[in-house]
Amino acid sequence: MFEFFIKQVLGMKWLADLVQDIMVNVFKLDLQEKIWGSLHFFVYDTIKILILLFVLVFIIAYIQSYFPPERTKKILSRFNGILGNKIAALLGTVTPFCSCSSVPIFIGFTRAGLPLGLTFSFLISSPLVDLGSMLMLMSFFGEKFAVAYVLLGLVLAVIGGLMISSLKMEDHIKSYNGNVRELYSESENFTQKQRLSYAKSDTVIIVKNVYKYVLMGVGIGAIIHNWVPKEFILAILGPDNPYGVLIATIIGIPIYADLFGALPIAEALYLAGVPSGTILALMMGITALSLPSMIMLSNVLKPKLLGVFIGIVTIGIIIIGYTFNLLNLV
């Protein structure tokens, strides 16, 4: 039953078969030809991701309505030490899907005077791990990869927050007087009807914001899967290149996308034989350290603290990637 859920409900194998049947039996196309193989990859992955995107964003938005920023601040203010970092990392799993949505909430937390380590645990966790990410990863790579990704992301968030807390860098926070949108600030007292309405409207907003990155990601994935020689990919990111994880992390940082846009690229690399830890490092680099997010953070963090944050997260991602490869977790 669980295998059916992974393959048919999340993985939508039925959809891949349907698209293939239509292309082969109706349009008489040869999927062995690169152009038609690329089209199959593009059509199947686009439809699959958009269906999952609508469903998962709606579910997460509904859950999110119970944790507006003010309530999250109140919860975090009750905890200190490693327990506080754990709670902050867990609360990051019920927040928006990309780091550029998380950064404004992070700014609000720093302005409210929450401990620096807790806010950074939240900031690292929020774009990396949530229920939607885990289910989406299951649909592409299976449950072992998805669970390991989420757990390691939470570990990175907790350790990163503790390290920043230990450095006592509170004086490296800039005074930020810009407007910070208090997302869904009134949602704590919503009725069920209002929560459903909020989830619906938030889903539409998020899908409108990210669908172009999904299309770009699927397009790049289709090109990688059908046009870029496997030998070329493996020479750069393959298991025989000891710098593969490092390269993947560096490649991921300037890319602005969320997990939904990164997944088709990761899928194409996986099909080419790139190790799972290298793929994980690429996805974490894209979601946690995107260049636009770092530019936003520079408005509230002084260069030294911003550099420490980037350094800790980058080193953590690289260690996780190599560990993942060493243990061969997929």
pLDDT tens, position by position, 238-283: 999 999 999 999 888 777 666 777 888 888 998 899 999 999 899 8
Residue 200 in any domain: the answer is no
Give buried/exposed letters for 245-282 (b at 16+ CB in 10 A, else e).
bbebbbbbbebbbbbbbbbbbbbbbbebebbbbbbbbb
Domain count, the chain: 1
Q: How far apart are CA 218 and CA 267, in angstroms?
A: 9
Q: How far apart are CA 118 and CA 112, in angstroms?
A: 12
The residue type at 28? K
Confidence category of residue 96, pLDDT binned at 50, 70, 90: low
Instruction: Compare 293 and 32 and report the one with higher pLDDT.
Output: 32
Residue 55 has pLDDT above 60, yes or no: yes
Residue 188 in any domain: the answer is no
Residue 319 in any domain: the answer is yes
Q: Which of 172, 185, 178 is nearest to 116 (CA)?
A: 172
Residue 245 in any domain: the answer is yes
Provide the pLDDT for residue 91. 83
Provide the pLDDT for residue 180. 47
DSSP string covering 6-67, please? IIIIIS-HHHHHHHHHIIIIIS---TTSHHHHHHHHHHHHHHHHHHHHHHHHHHHHHHHTT-
What residue numbers bound the domain in which 301 lies?
A: 2-170+210-327
Tokens of 34: 């690169």
Q: Which of 159, 138, 170, 166 is nearest to 259 (CA)?
A: 138
Provide the pLDDT for residue 327. 79
Residue 187 in any domain: the answer is no
Provide the pLDDT for residue 72. 73
Residue 188 has pLDDT above 70, yes or no: no
Residue 119 in any domain: the answer is yes
Provide the pLDDT for residue 178. 52
Residue 78 in any domain: the answer is yes
Please state the pTM of the whole predicted model: 0.80
Q: pLDDT, tens digit, for every residue of 194-240?
A: 888 888 988 888 788 778 888 888 998 899 988 999 899 999 999 99
Residue 272 in any domain: the answer is yes
